[in-house]
């Protein structure tokens, strides 16, 4: 009875280290770890010990006999990952324990309290005698793990239980409602700590620079997510859900989350952590259709397979894709079978996935009434890649609300250098060479890539750079 990793996988690799037979891949030392959409159990090598189940912080792993009908596809996805033999060592990688020189106990300040911050704190606290103080601007901790995960993804939100366990360590102090760079400076922190780790994420959206983008009725999907999750910065926001259709520009996981929340039966959200004001607005909503638009083809969709599976299993919501788009997918692509099997019902709300459309203008005299797009075609390049070329043909999709979801972007951190092209703090393994005692981890370090658990290996690298500097006497 092999075990199966399912939709809520956060890729923190806890299961990898727990597995006694090294049957979970990719591991953090394999080249595809940082680009993998999830981790996978080898059904042939699995010995059914259940160690991975205990280690997983988001309850993503089940015996194959306990999968629901909607989760059966994950048994196939796990097995397909091993269809082509992959070289692997006998044992999973061993991470040597951190060791510090004798002397005063290591003291580290961490700015931010999201996943990257909490994983960094966990790593520092593996050192006997080390102490951590976390500074968080908001009055509630855990960042995107609390305010960015959809309320109906309860298992994914379960990672906060792990963060609660980390925060319970008596050597960790958390100061909420304190903004570093305003009330407190980097030098202030260095007066009481050996080093400062900035885990401030990518807190702004990439801007869609087209006409009408500032009209009422246009917002970002990120702001909409923060609103329905009760983020204090967006508590006073309102969104007009009186129209029949919503258009979302961009088709990553955030876009699909928003589309699902807009169309799901609000009664299914009543027992979740959704903000009460958002639940009331969704109960009163007139939205019947959400159109999710990508500028490239279906093969270049930005959403992950687990997210698509979750979308297609939403009760009483049809996921609609043109047959000609699905036919462009190879038969071996699991997205094709998932989309073909998506239910169709009478009178259901709909999520429509549109491709090869680029927005040119938000329409409306005083508020958004729709989006004008131009059709694209894919042109093969000599190197085998494809590029998008406009055909010049236009299309208008009417909508009462337009949300953009084209990616996150980091913003400058007071006192640190900033690369405006990558929207990150330039660093060497998390070390900021130009600023004494400064380190970065998470999205401000590597850009907005990966998943919640990806921040664990990222934080491990940063903390190891920090400890190396401490042992070399570089941190006063």
Q: Which residues pair with 321 in a beta bridge?
A: 353
Residue 415 near residue 180 (C-beta atoms within 8 A): no
Over residues 381-404, mean pLDDT = 93
Same domain, 280 and 390: yes
Same domain, 61 and 154: no
Query: H-helix or E-strand containing 350?
Result: strand 349-354
Q: What is the pLDDT of residue 62?
A: 96
Does a structural domain hold residue 450?
yes
Same domain, 220 and 367: yes
Does a structural domain hold residue 89?
no
Same domain, 312 and 352: yes
Q: Let me know if 251 is exposed, middle or buried by CB neighbors in 10 A (0-12, 13-18, 19+).
A: buried
- CA 108 – CA 197 distance, rounded (Å): 7
Range of the domain at 441: 107-203+410-472
Which residues, at least 6 apart from 32, have a Cβ–Cβ distance to it below 8 Å?
26
Considering the chain, what is the average pLDDT of its residues? Answer: 94
Q: What is the pLDDT of residues 140-151, one digit of tens each?
A: 999 999 999 999
Q: What is the CATH number of the domain that holds 32?
A: 3.30.70.20
- CA 166 – CA 123 distance, rounded (Å): 10
Last residue of a domain, one of 389, 404, 419: 404
Same domain, 174 and 311: no
Q: What is the pLDDT of residues 433-468, one digit of tens each?
A: 999 999 999 999 999 999 999 999 999 999 999 999
Q: What is the pLDDT of residue 18?
A: 93
Q: What is the pLDDT of residues 266-280, one digit of tens each?
A: 999 999 999 999 999
Q: Let me know if 191 is exposed, middle or buried by CB neighbors in 10 A (0-12, 13-18, 19+).
A: exposed
State how far the alpha carbon of 475 is from the alpha carbons of 108, 163, 290, 466, in Å: 11, 27, 53, 9
Same domain, 379 and 444: no
Same domain, 184 and 153: yes
Q: What is the pLDDT of residues 337-381, one digit of tens each?
A: 999 988 777 778 999 999 999 999 999 999 999 999 999 999 988
The torsion defined by the Cα of 34, 37, 42 and 46, in degrees rounded to 10, comes to 90
Q: What is the pLDDT of residue 92?
A: 67
Same domain, 317 and 390: yes
Q: What is the pLDDT of residue 88?
A: 72
- Strand, coil or helix: what is 274? coil
Q: What is the pLDDT of residues 84-114, one digit of tens each?
A: 887 776 666 677 889 998 767 999 999 999 9
Same domain, 324 and 441: no
Q: Domain count of the chain? A: 3
1 confidence band (pLDDT: 50, 70, 90): low
Q: What is the pLDDT of residue 29?
A: 87
Over residues 382-399, mean pLDDT = 92
Query: H-helix or E-strand containing 227?
Result: helix 221-228
- The first and second tokens of residue 99, run together, are 């060791």
Of 326 and 235, the structure prediction assigns the larger pLDDT to: 326
Same domain, 260 and 361: yes
Q: How many CA atoms lie within 13 A of 364 on its CB side?
A: 20
Angle at 59 between CA 57 and CA 62, to 5 degrees: 135
pLDDT surpasses 70 at 316: yes
Which residues, at least 6 apart from 236, have a Cβ–Cβ distance to it below 8 Å?
none
Same domain, 416 and 360: no
Same domain, 354 and 441: no
Q: What is the pLDDT of residue 93?
A: 67
pLDDT surpasses 80 at 292: yes
pTM for this prediction: 0.93
Q: What is the pLDDT of residue 383?
A: 83
């Amino acid at each position: 009875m092999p075990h199966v990793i399912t939709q809520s996988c956060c890729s923190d690799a806890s299961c990898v280290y727990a597995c006694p037979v090294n049957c979970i891949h990719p591991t953090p030392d394999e080249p595809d770890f940082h680009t993998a959409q999830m981790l996978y159990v080898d059904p042939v090598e699995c010995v059914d010990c259940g160690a991975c189940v205990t280690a997983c912080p988001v309850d993503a792993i089940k015996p194959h006999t306990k999968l629901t009908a909607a989760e059966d596809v994950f048994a196939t996805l796990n097995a397909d990952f091993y269809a082509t033999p992959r070289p692997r060592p006998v044992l999973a990688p061993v991470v040597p324990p951190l060791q510090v020189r004798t002397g005063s106990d290591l003291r580290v300040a961490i700015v931010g309290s999201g996943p990257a911050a909490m994983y960094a704190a966990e790593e520092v606290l593996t050192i006997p005698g080390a102490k951590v103080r976390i500074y968080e601007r908001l009055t509630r901790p855990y960042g995107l793990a609390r305010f960015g995960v959809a309320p109906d993804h309860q298992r994914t939100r379960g990672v906060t239980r792990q963060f609660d366990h980390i925060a319970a360590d008596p050597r960790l102090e958390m100061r909420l409602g304190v903004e570093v760079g305003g009330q407190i400076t980097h030098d202030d922190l260095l007066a009481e700590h050996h080093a400062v780790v900035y885990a401030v994420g990518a807190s702004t959206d990439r801007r869609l620079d087209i006409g009408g983008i500032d009209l009422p009725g246009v917002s970002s999907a990120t702001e909409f997510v923060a609103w329905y999750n009760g983020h204090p910065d967006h508590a006073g926001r309102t969104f007009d859900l009186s129209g029949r259709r919503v258009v979302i520009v961009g088709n990553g996981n955030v876009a699909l989350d928003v589309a699902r929340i807009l169309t799901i039966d609000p009664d299914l959200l009543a027992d979740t952590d959704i903000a009460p004001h958002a639940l009331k607005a969704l109960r009163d909503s007139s939205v019947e259709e959400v159109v999710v638009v990508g500028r490239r083809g279906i093969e270049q969709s930005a959403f992950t397979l687990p997210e698509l599976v979750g979308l297609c299993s939403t009760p009483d919501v049809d996921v609609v894709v043109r047959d000609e788009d699905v036919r462009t997918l190879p038969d071996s692509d699991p997205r094709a079978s998932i989309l073909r099997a998506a239910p169709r019902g009478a009178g259901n709300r709909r999520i429509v996935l549109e491709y090869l459309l680029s927005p040119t203008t938000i329409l409306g005299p005083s508020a958004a009434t729709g989006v004008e797009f131009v059709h694209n075609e894919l042109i093969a390049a000599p190197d085998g890649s494809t590029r998008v070329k406009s055909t010049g043909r236009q299309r208008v999709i009417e909508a009462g609300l337009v949300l953009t979801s084209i990616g996150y972007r980091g913003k400058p951190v007071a006192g640190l250098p900033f690369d405006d092209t990558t929207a990150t703090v330039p660093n060497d393994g998390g070390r900021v060479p130009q600023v004494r005692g400064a380190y970065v981890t998470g999205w401000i370090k590597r850009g907005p890539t990966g998943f919640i658990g990806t921040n664990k290996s990222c934080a491990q690298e940063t903390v190891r750079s920090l400890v190396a500097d401490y042992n070399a006497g570089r941190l006063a």
